[in-house]
Amino acid sequence: MARRPRIFAPGLLYHVIVRGNQRQKTFFADRDYQAYLERLAKYRKRYRVSVYGYCLMPNHVHLLLGCSDTPLSRFMQGLQQSFTQYFNRAHQKVGHLFQGRYKAIVCDRDEYLLELVRYIHLNPVRSKLVGGPEEWRYSGHGVYLRGKPTEVMDPQPIFRLLGGPKAYRRFVLDGLGQGHREDYYRVEDQRFLGAEEFVKKVQEKVEGKEVRVVKRYLSSVVEKMARRAKVRVEVLRGPDRSWAVSKVRSLVVYLLVRRLGFSVKEVGQYVGKDETSISTMINRVHQRIQQKEMGEEIERLYQNV
């Protein structure tokens, strides 16, 4: 069955589940969990993502997120790729760390926001890793109990619904008797958690919007890179095949696809090249990525994109 396209519109609530490749562990030690949380904080701030709940388990991750005007895929691409690079360096490994495609379920905020906050933070208890949620150090539960914002999460939006740390604690403990909720995973159209009316409303809201958002975001990213490279965007998108322009064009294309998660087709349409040409550019850069000069130039272009 063909993969269904991601659903995106500003303001949607997502339950994201990321699993280790072939069920392997994604966190071996405390430093690994901390490294993931540092990156979650970094990319949350960069892409203005709201984190309502999170739980890092030994071989998978749960995130409850609200997005602004940047597609969820951009946020996840930066977060997952950055952590994979850290993990492979730290543990002298190569290859994919996470399962190919994370699951992103669009949830009815009114119906499921609080329930999912509780469900996610009780995950270590259901898995019998700890006796109580406060014992697991790698979830947002402790943030809610302390009642103060961190770089990763601000508890105030949930407190406005529940009334504060004590009310939150009671609410979570009331759910201790709940077991695994398969209905939170087996969802409508493989993408939605909500009633039929909610699904219809979301589909009407996002119709055509994803394409417009992607194009606008892609354009803004290329403009930033072009300024750093001191090349006009029109030149990068034009027919100029000089060595200097071709080099910058290839680096930009590589970053758009490999670092930022745009598809080969999207990038090809933007720069006016066919998909074979785009793939060739990416492969050439990949083969030379270990060269110090090229590596530095890539990082310079990518900085604060």
CA distances from 225 to 80, 231, 236, 266, 305 (A): 22, 9, 11, 17, 8
How would residue 2 be classed by pLDDT, with cut points 50, 70 and 90?
very low
Residue 139 has pLDDT above 80, yes or no: yes
Averaged pLDDT for residues 133-145: 97
Write the pLDDT tens digit of every residue in 21-59.
878 899 999 999 999 999 999 999 998 999 999 999 999
Write the pLDDT tens digit of every residue in 204-226.
555 555 555 566 778 888 998 99
For 53-69, b/e burial (b = at least 16 CB within 10 A) is bbbbbbbbbbbbbbbee
Q: Which has the minimum average pLDDT: 14-18, 267-271, 292-296?
A: 292-296
Residue type at position 108: D
pLDDT of residue 164: 94
Residue 235 has pLDDT above 50, yes or no: yes
CA distances from 20 to 125, 139, 265 (A): 20, 17, 28
Q: Is 47 exposed, middle or buried (0-12, 13-18, 19+ CB in 10 A)?
A: buried
- The answer for residues whose C-beta is within 8 angstroms of residue 258's C-beta and 6 or more apart is 282, 286
Q: Which residues pair with 20 in a beta bridge?
A: 98
Q: Which of 243, 250, 224, 245 is CA-nearest to residue 235? A: 245
- For residues 41 and 108, the answer to whether their CB atoms sit within 8 Å is no
Structural domains in the chain, sorted by start: 13-206 (3.30.70.1290), 209-302 (1.10.1750.10)
How would residue 182 be classed by pLDDT, with cut points 50, 70 and 90?
low
CA distances from 57 to 44, 52, 114, 140 (A): 19, 17, 20, 12
How would residue 292 be classed by pLDDT, with cut points 50, 70 and 90?
confident
Residue 10 has pLDDT above 60, yes or no: yes
For 152-178, b/e burial (b = at least 16 CB within 10 A) is bbebeebeeebeebeebbebbeebeee
Q: Taking all residues of the chain, what is their mean pLDDT, rounded to a whole number?
A: 84
pLDDT of residue 1: 36
Averaged pLDDT for residues 254-276: 84
- For residues 97 and 83, the answer to whether their CB atoms sit within 8 Å is yes
DSSP string, 43-94: HHHHTT-EEEEEEEETTEEEEEEE--SS-HHHHHHHHHHHHHHHHHHHHT--
Q: Which has the minimum average pLDDT: 93-102, 154-163, 166-175?
A: 93-102
pLDDT of residue 97: 85
Helix (H) / strand (E) element for 18: namely strand 13-19
Residue 255 has pLDDT above 80, yes or no: yes
Q: Which has the minimum average pLDDT: 39-48, 94-103, 140-149, 194-203?
A: 194-203
pLDDT of residue 202: 53
Write the pLDDT tens digit of every residue in 89-118.
999 887 778 876 788 888 877 788 888 999
- The rounded percent of the chain whose pLDDT value lies above 70 is 83
pLDDT of residue 85: 87
Residue 3 has pLDDT above 50, yes or no: no
For the whole model, what pTM was predicted?
A: 0.69
pLDDT of residue 188: 46
pLDDT of residue 86: 92
- For residues 184 and 116, the answer to whether their CB atoms sit within 8 Å is yes
- The answer for residues whose C-beta is within 8 angstroms of residue 96's C-beta and 6 or more apart is 21, 84
